Amino acid sequence: MTASKQQPRLVTAQQFYTFAEPPDQMLLESGARLGPVTIAYETYGQMSADRDNVILITHAFSGDSHVAGYLADDKEDAKPGWWDSLVGPGKGIDTDSYFVICSNILGSCMGSTGPASINPATDKPYGLDFPMVTIGDMVAAQKALMDHLQINSLLAVIGGSVGGMQVLEWCIRYPDMVRSAVPLATTMRHSALAIAFNEVARQSIMADPNWNKGDYYGKEGPDLGLAIARMIGHVTYLSDEAMRRKFGRRLQDKRDFSFGFDADFQVESYLRYQGSKFVRRFDANALLYITKAADYFDLVDNLTTRESIRDLSGATIKFLVISYTSDWLYPTYQARELVQALKRSSQDVSFCEINADCGHDAFLLPDERLTNLISGFLKGVFNG
């Protein structure tokens, strides 16, 4: 038996685009102005001569621009991008055919301007002087990047969770620019339950004495509060079945209870590990801002711009809406509400609910069904 041919290592590099230099600062939905603004991004594949093969991938709240492959300066044992199972040569989003862009969202801490960035007015990190941003502001910053790259049309915008919110916002704001859209595991607006979990996460950070009203840069940060916030969030990303299968009530390296507050159970140890790992890579203030932006997002009754899904009437965007059976953060009924709203706006909509017991995070896991769905959909749009 001959060994299968191994795909070459996909290598990329993070790039940066800075715009909105004072006095031409970016006007945010809140009415505040921000500038300069830097957006970190990565690209994969080659843009066609007609610039008709561009796909924008939008990431979830704690994600980044590194969606696939390896950064040029990565070590051999480095982990690939967060959606490497789906994006790359010969994969569902085939970089041999499409030019893929993924940018880090405004307000984050992975290369784009956010609360940890330096405020030019003070030469210190913004902290809570950073203005509140919305999903709409994030998309407006991505549009500025597209203008910089001289991209006038997007074959598809694809993203899950908070990334799915960005997909929908792109369709509302720039419908003439988007040929197709794939929102996965997302919603038109947060439920009270989702807002409640985000608020508990925010309060865990703000209750940490080291948070110091957002002014902790250069000092000991609110690591405990941020770790707890991540633990809370991580529970919402899983499902009861996934946690039962992965952990059950198994003890962690013990045969009996400690009769104290050690991590007796494997699930306790796992959550503590996830919290401590998150602290090493993410900024606490960024979590506050991004979760608030997600809570403000509303395409049913937007209180800021008055934009809604109804504004898509007259647009010609092909949609593929995907949900997961075990996603209790953004349940399938919310995806069905989105599908119904899109159909009322006379959109071309396909819908698939994938049977998976992994919870909300299922869209990030390798899945041949998802690969085939997206691959077939994109081929139909590109060749249609």
Domains of the chain, first to last: 11-190+298-383 (3.40.50.1820), 197-288 (1.10.1740.110)
**How confident is the model at residue 4, as a pLDDT?**
40
Q: Are 128 and 206 in contact (CB under 8 A)?
A: no
Q: Annotated catalytic, 327?
A: yes
How far is 133 from 295, CA to CA, in rounded Å?
Answer: 11
**How confident is the model at residue 144, as a pLDDT?**
98
**How confident is the model at residue 3, as a pLDDT?**
38
**How confident is the model at residue 7, as a pLDDT?**
62
Q: Annotated catalytic, 360?
A: yes
Q: Give the other-Cβ count within 10 Å of 343's Cβ.
A: 13
36 preceded by cis ω (within 30°)?
yes
**What would the two tokens of residue 117 be?**
């960035």
Q: In residues, how long is the chain?
A: 384
- Annotated catalytic residue within 298, 327, 361, 367: 327
- For Cα atoms 342, 323, 79, give the angle at the middle one, nearest 5 degrees: 125
How far is 105 from 128, CA to CA, in rounded Å?
Answer: 18
**How confident is the model at residue 157, as a pLDDT?**
98
Please state, in angstroms and as integers, the Cα–Cα distance from residue 231 to each residue in 119, 120, 236, 273, 277, following that order. 30, 34, 9, 9, 11
Q: Are 272 and 232 in contact (CB under 8 A)?
A: no
**How confident is the model at residue 314, as a pLDDT?**
82
**What would the two tokens of residue 58 be?**
């939008």
What amino acid occupies position 23? Answer: P
Q: Annotated catalytic, 62?
A: no
Q: Are 192 and 209 in contact (CB under 8 A)?
A: no
**How confident is the model at residue 1, as a pLDDT?**
34
**What would the two tokens of residue 293 be?**
């932006």
- Annotated catalytic residue within 161, 239, 326, 345: 161
**How confident is the model at residue 330, as a pLDDT?**
98
Q: Give the other-Cβ count within 10 Å of 242's Cβ.
A: 18
pLDDT digit of tens for each residue in the chain (384 aa)? 333 445 677 999 999 999 999 999 999 999 999 999 999 999 999 999 999 999 999 999 999 999 999 998 887 778 899 999 999 999 999 999 999 999 999 999 999 999 999 999 999 999 999 999 999 999 999 999 999 999 999 999 999 999 999 999 999 999 999 999 999 999 999 999 999 999 999 999 999 999 999 999 999 999 999 999 999 999 999 999 999 999 999 998 878 898 889 899 999 999 999 999 999 999 999 999 999 999 999 999 876 666 778 788 888 999 999 999 999 999 999 999 999 999 999 999 999 999 999 999 999 999 999 999 999 999 999 997
**How confident is the model at residue 73, as a pLDDT?**
84
